[in-house]
Chains A and B, each alone.
Chain A
Amino acid sequence: SYVLTQSPSVSVAPGRTARMTCGGNKIETKSVHWYQQKPGQAPVLVIYYDSDRPSGIPERFSGSNSGNTATLTITGVEAGDEADYYCQVWDSTSDDQAVFGGGTKLTVL
């Protein structure tokens, strides 16, 4: 089955740029979606189809996907961005299933 690999944690000072990666074999051939989850809350979609933003998500959130790595970038990080971030793809190669990465904990210093 398809595996997505995320770094466990990223720390960044307020106002700086946070980059979180999601690794997978030829992930550029798949559509990647990103979710933000704050403690005790359900996940929220922040980026879909690699780089699109749902309405209500600030322009500070952006995404890209190339080669074996997809990246979620948050510019001008704010304290309220502190959360877990999960990437997700749909694997239709071997099994027809949704696959999530293990998540990255973003800490705002």
Chain B
Amino acid sequence: QVQLQESGPGLVKPSETLSLTCTVSGFPVSSNTYYLSWIRQSPGKGLEWIGYIYYSGSATYNPSLTSRVTISIDTSKNQFSLKLRSMTAADTAVYYCACSSGRLFDSWGQGTLVTVSS
């Protein structure tokens, strides 16, 4: 059974870098079967895809965020991570990690709320 769990700070100061980790159970992140994604949802708003990473370490990002985002993978810990630089209030959101075997999202973490405030 696939399970994902996000972890990281709930509060980030403006201009700082957000670092979140998604711990995966049920399959190895080194598997060539799965795409590992980050998705966010601002309060009261819709879903926004941030990017994904493949087992090889190759990552693809939302063009609107590509200058600020890095997704990486740690096969030794069976985790993948998100870094989002230069945070502003507009980045306040629930951040989800998700995975799939195709270009969709069939397993999601519970989400973690990140607030940007000084």
Chain B CB within 8 A of A21 CB:
no
CB-CB contacts below 8 Å: A64-105 with B: 86, 88, 90, 95-103
**Are B111 and A100 neighbours in the complex by a CB distance under 8 Å?**
no
Chain B contacts to A: CB under 8 angstroms: 37, 39, 46-49, 52, 60-63, 96, 102-106, 108-111
**Are B103 and A86 neighbours in the complex by a CB distance under 8 Å?**
no
Q: Chain A residues near B62: list those with CB within 8 A.
A: 97
**Are A43 and B104 neighbours in the complex by a CB distance under 8 Å?**
no
**Are B49 and A100 neighbours in the complex by a CB distance under 8 Å?**
yes
A-B CB contact pairs (8 Å), 23 listed: A31-B103, A42-B110, A42-B111, A43-B96, A43-B108, A44-B108, A45-B104, A45-B105, A45-B106, A48-B104, A86-B46, A88-B104, A96-B60, A97-B49, A97-B62, A98-B37, A98-B39, A98-B49, A98-B52, A98-B105, A100-B47, A102-B46, A103-B46
In whole angstroms, what is the CA distance A103 to B45 when docked?
9
Chain B CB within 8 A of A58 CB:
no
The count of chain A contact residues (Cβ–Cβ below 8 Å) is 24
**Are A1 and B103 neighbours in the complex by a CB distance under 8 Å?**
no
In whole angstroms, what is the CA distance A97 to B39 when docked?
12
Q: Chain A residues near B106: list those with CB within 8 A.
A: 45, 48, 54
Chain A contacts to B: CB under 8 angstroms: 1, 31, 33, 35, 41-45, 48-49, 54, 86, 88, 90, 95-103
In whole angstroms, what is the CA distance A4 to B109 when docked?
24
Q: Which 3 A-B pairs have the closest CB atoms?
A: A90-B103, A98-B49, A42-B108
In whole angstroms, what is the CA distance A42 to B111 when docked?
7
In whole angstroms, what is the CA distance A52 to B52 when docked?
23
**Are A1 and B105 neighbours in the complex by a CB distance under 8 Å?**
no
19 more contacts with CB within 8 A, not counting A42-B111, A49-B104, A98-B39, are A31-B103, A31-B104, A33-B104, A33-B105, A42-B96, A43-B47, A43-B108, A44-B108, A45-B105, A48-B106, A86-B46, A86-B47, A88-B104, A88-B105, A95-B63, A97-B62, A98-B49, A99-B49, A103-B46
